[in-house]
Structure 1
Amino acid sequence: MNQMIRTPQKTKANTPLPRSKAKPDELVPSRYAVRVGDIDVLVVSDGVLPLPTKMLAHNAAPADRAAWLDDMFLPQDAFDWALNVVVVRSGGKTILIDAGLGFDPDLHLPRAGQLAKRLAAAGIDLGSVTDVVLTHMHMDHVGGLLVEGVKEQLHPDLRIHVAAAEVKFWESPDFSHTAMPQGFPDALRATAKRFMDEYRSQFQLFDETHEVAPGVVAYRTGGHTPGHSVVRLASGGEALTFAGDAVFAVGFDQPDWHNGFEHDPEEAARVRIRLLRELAETGEMLVATHLPFPSVGRVAVDGDAFRWVPVFWDY
């Protein structure tokens, strides 16, 4: 997955660089490669998801939320949440961690659901994926496998690893503690049901921890959903945790603010604080679904809160 970057040839002063006649599909390639010891990691953007800013902190005072948004140079009403997935290669396996949003015409989200196209642009054949790990079964994590024509491209022996508590929850989901925009609960419920109907025979259920490949371990955290899990990659003294929806951008400054998609917001806050403390102590890298792409960084303690420390690009 790591690709060689060629150094451009020097040109004479005032000589314009030649333009390619082929127009690229996208100006910015939406992938970022990292190595964790012997494990290859590729963060891939599934696009962006425009959501109301209230979703960031429905338990916070409006003035406090507005102040945070202002400090971050973000609009007050709505902004684009990143949608990141990860491809991992370890022990001869190619593992997709989460599968993006897919396509739901009723939600009018044309800039999301880009995963299949961007995997192809990265040279990753869907048929080469041996395993999928789901952090949870919200539609922006499973919908990419429901896009028309995708299942036919997948390996027939594909294994889908998901916490047993997550599957049980979606058999009769409870939205009483969430604060979502209208239409989202119905869409989440319908997508999870469809996903289980399509792929249940390929589920590999686990309770608390599960090693998917050498150095690739899923851990159930709960909180965001009952079966929400994170995936830790460890090799050669290095480590990276894909946190799914345990951490949002606001969670460093305000880890106790409740996200509207959290099914148990108080437990989600406890999970978030515990995870951030662990990452600050170990110094390992963090990637999360909704942190700004490419989302690779580390965590530092900052008084009673935390600080996001992006990695320096070294290619």
Structure 2
Amino acid sequence: MSTYLNHSNQTNATDDRQASVTRQPFAPAQELVPSRYALQVGDIDVVVISDGVLPLPTSTMSTNADPQARAAWFKDMFLGPDAFDWALNVLVVRSGEQIILVDAGLGGQFPGFPRAGQLPKRLEAAGIDLASVTDIVITHMHMDHVGGLLVDEVKSRLRADVRIHVSAKEVEFWETPDFTQTVMPAPVPDVLRATANQFINDYRRQVRTFEDEYEVAPGVVVKLTGGHTPGHSIVYVNSGGERLTFAGDALFPVAFEHPEWHNGFEHDPEESVRVRMRLMREAAASGEWFVATHLPFPSVGRVAVDGDAFRWIAAFWDY
């Protein structure tokens, strides 16, 4: 990992493209698509890794929205009308001697999502060895955040003493999860429940719980927010007067223009609105880097206030 990160963004998409073109002039399209993006936050190295995408109904992104308003938003974004590809982003952070994986993607064990579960091969392509990971932060225990830890090619390569940080409230919630306020496709709750249970069963000895917040490594803090799930957490990376927030599932692409729209996967939709409003106001005031699981890759940008709503300002790629 150190070799890759020391080259920072110079080894992002360009190397992938050059390697593909060198091998064959008309390389398959997937070989030309970048899957990682590196940046520095002070002295801390951060890499955003794409776990791929999964298709979801557009209605899931805005369960309380007027159908015509929803259709108009997706049309304006050249998406939909009935479904769209939901990005999956994870982080790898190096602070001092610690290498921290933030979330683990979906994994390849779920039928119907052939373009997700890409994390193992994309970590390998980035030169990041799973055996070097000292800590894993789980923002919450939905299947697209812990599923990647359940595949054999990941489990067999993680070190036995890896520390997995999850909020105590999140672990408690999944003992008897409540789906009464969610609006998910019918099979999903059972799969979410089973995946969360398997994660705890497989990693019980490695799990380290925290109450409100915990400093995982110098400058890397995981903090409870609630909302999306009762134990949902975010990660702050602070170094040299700079900050990056990984917001997990606190917000989705519609959140900037319509922060009041509910997402079908939110276990407490009203609290989720309060959480994302607070996080976006903080980000707009500080000018910090902002990354989230389901914003389009590489999901690195800033937030600005735009009247009663917000505006997403994507970072200019440095490569």
Q: What TM-score do you get using the length of structure 2 for normalisation?
A: 0.92
Tell me how far apart the structure 1 counterparts of residues 252 and 64 of structure 2 sit (CA, whole Å): 15
Q: Which structure: larger Rg?
A: 1
Percent of residue pairs bearing the same amino acid type? 66
The count of residues paired between Structure 1 and Structure 2 equals: 303
Distance across 2 between alignment mates of 1:19 and 1:171: 50
Q: Does 1:79 align with 2:84?
A: yes
Match of 1:93 in 2: 98
Partner of residue 288, structure 2? 284
Partner SS state of residue 171, structure 1: coil
- Equivalent residue for 1:195? 199
Aligned to 2:187: 183
1:205 aligns with 2:205: no
**Whole-angstrom CA distance in 1 between matches of 2:22 and 2:174:** 49
1:45 aligns with 2:50: yes
Provide the rounded CA distance (Å) in 2 between the counterparts of 1:84 and 1:26: 18
Distance in 1, matches of 2:155 and 2:83, equals: 33
AA in 2 matched with 1:173: P
Determine the C-alpha separation between the residues in 1 that align with 2:33 and 2:175: 40
Q: Which has the higher helix share?
A: 2
Does 49-58 or 149-158 show the bigger shift?
149-158
Distance 2:186 2:313 in 1: 35
* Cα distance, 1:313 vs structure 2: 1.3
Counterpart-to-counterpart distance in 1, 2:74 and 2:257: 11
- Greater mean deviation of Cα atoms: 290-299 or 178-187: 178-187
Superposition deviation, residue 103 in structure 1: 2.1
Whole-Å separation in 1 of the counterparts to 2:47 and 2:280: 22
Q: Distance in 2 between matches of 1:192 and 1:91?
A: 31
2 CA distance for matches of 1:110 and 1:182? 20
Aligned residue among 211, 220, 226 for 2:224 = 220
Q: CA deviation at 1:132?
A: 0.1
Q: Which residue of 2 aligns with 1:68?
A: 73
Q: Which of 149, 158, 165 is equivalent to 2:162?
A: 158
Give 1:152 shift: 1.6
Whole-angstrom CA distance in 1 between matches of 2:179 and 2:21: 52
Shift of 1:73: 1.2
Residue 191 of structure 1 aligns to a residue in which SS? Answer: helix
User: Does the 8 A contact of 2:58 with 2:84 survive in 1?
Assistant: yes
In structure 1, the residue corresponding to 2:23 is in which secondary structure?
coil
Q: Which is worse superposed, 140-149 or 212-221?
A: 140-149
Q: What CA deviation, in whole Å up to 9, does each residue of 1:71-102 have, x standing for no partner?
A: 11112100001000000000210000000000
Matches within 5 A, 1:1-315: 1-2=4-5, 3=7, 5=10, 20-21=22-23, 26-105=31-110, 107-315=111-319
Q: What secondary structure is seen at the aligned counterpart in 1 of 2:71?
A: helix
The answer on whether the counterparts of 2:105 and 2:145 sit within 8 Å (CA) in structure 1 is yes
The answer to whether the Cα contact below 8 Å between 2:228 and 2:267 also exists between their aligned partners in 1 is yes
**In 2: Cα distance, 1:274 partner to 1:138 partner:** 22
Runs of 4+ that moved beyond 6 A? none
CA apart distance, 1:26:
2.0
Unmatched tracts of structure 2, length 5 or more: 12-19
**Deviation for aligned residue 1:19:** 5.1
Q: Give the counterpart letter for 1:85 in structure 2.
A: V
What is the Cα deviation at residue 27 of structure 1?
1.8
Question: Which AA in structure 2 matches 1:180?
Answer: M
| Cα separation, 2, equivalents of 1:251 and 1:29 | 25
> Cα distance, 1:312 vs. partner?
1.1
**Corresponding position of 1:13:** none
Query: C-alpha root-mean-square deviation of aligned residues, in Å?
Result: 1.5
TM (normalized to structure 1)? Answer: 0.93
3-state SS of the aligned residue for 1:256?
coil
**Counterpart secondary structure, 2:47:** strand
User: Which amino acid in the other structure matches residue 48 of structure 2?
Assistant: V
1:230-263: per-residue Cα shift (whole Å, max 9, x none)? 0000000100000000010000000010000000
